[in-house]
Amino acid sequence: MNFSFLRFSSITKKIWMSLLGLFLMVFLILHLGINLCLLRKDPTWFNDAAYFMGTNYVIKVFEVILFGGFIFHILVGIILQLRNWRSRPVRYKINPRTDTPFFTKYMIYTGAVVFIFLVIHLMNFYFIKLGWKESPVPSLPNGHPDFYVVARWLFSQPFYTVLYIVFIIVLGVHLYHSFRAAFQSLGLNHKSYNSSIETFGIVYSIVIPLGYILIPIYYLI
């Protein structure tokens, strides 16, 4: 494996982080669109979408890009953070009192929580699709996993539901800072557009997680 990207400058890494972050944010919208099909009593829409996502060749290509994007985003984030920790070997003895937005300081930690959620999520769904894990519910007549029932089964477990909601809230916190930060890292900072970018970022970081949380809440009710 070629590790030459590790030698990229700090700004190059930030630009890659931003581009991949924005790409993943677009994916979250697409994923939510499919998830919202779970709100229907008829499983056809959700299972058709899952079948399409699992079999379409264009989607399969995007799947590789998506996984690559996730891995690269996480890897570059870790590399940047390790450097940041090294840049101040002796810490201040009293806590900094500079007034900065609270969540901006904890991106690596919220990112780590999102990563744990991603692993659990993949184990529950993607591993079944790959045949690495047995489905907890019977498959569809065409032999494909019945993800609609899998999702409903998972959300019927209170522990998983609470965990899911907590993880999604942390994802929202991660996204809260991400959108504006991505634009700033890409050099897109202009006094005429900054407030719109910030507002969109805040709305996105609230609406998208709410959309995801809506599904387990709907099942609980």
Partner 1 sequence: MDFTLKIWRQKNAKAKGKFVTYNLKDVSSNCSFLEMLDILNEQLVHQNEEPVVFDTDCREGICGLCSLYINGRPHGPDDAITTCQLHMRKFKDGDIIVVEPWRARPFPVIKDLMVDRTAFDAIIQEGGFISVNTGGAPDANAIIIPKEAAELSMDAAACIGCGACVAACKNASAMLFVSAKVSHFALLPQGKPEAKERVRKMVAKMDELGFGNCTNTFACEVECPKLISVSTIARMNREFLWAKIG
Q: C-beta of 75: minimal distance to partner 1 in Å?
A: 14
Amino acid at 90: V
Q: What would the DSSP string read from start to end of 70-137?
A: HHHHHHHHHHHHHHHHHT-SS--SS-------GGGGGHHHHHHHHHHHHHHHIIIIIHHHHTSS--SS
The residue from 33, 136, 158, 187 that contacts partner 1 (CB under 8 A) is 187
State the binding string over 106-135 for partner 1 (x if CB under 8 A, else -).
-x----------------------------
Binding to partner 1 by residue 97, rule CB under 8 A? Answer: yes
The reply on whether position 104 binds partner 1 by CB under 8 A is yes
100 makes contact with partner 1 (CB under 8 A):
yes
Between 46 and 179, name the residue whose CB sits nearer to partner 1.
Answer: 179
Name the residue nearer to partner 1 (CB basis): 127 or 200: 200
Find the shortest distance in angstroms from Cβ 166 to partner 1: 24
C-beta of 57 vs 92, nearer to partner 1: 92
Long-range own/partner contacts, residues 73-81 (CB < 8 A, 24 or more apart): 73/17, 73/20, 73/21, 73/24, 74/111, 74/115, 76/5, 76/13, 76/16, 76/17, 76/20, 77/17, 77/107, 77/108, 77/111, 78/108, 79/6, 79/13, 80/10, 80/13, 80/14, 80/17, 81/108
Total number of residues that touch partner 1 (CB under 8 A): 40
Tokens 């995801």 correspond to 212
**According to CB under 8 A, which one of 90, 143, 192, 221 is a site residue for partner 1?**
90
Least gap, CB of 175 to partner 1 (angstroms)? 14
What residue ranges bind partner 1 (CB under 8 A)? 9-15, 80, 83-84, 86-101, 104-105, 107, 177, 180-181, 184-191
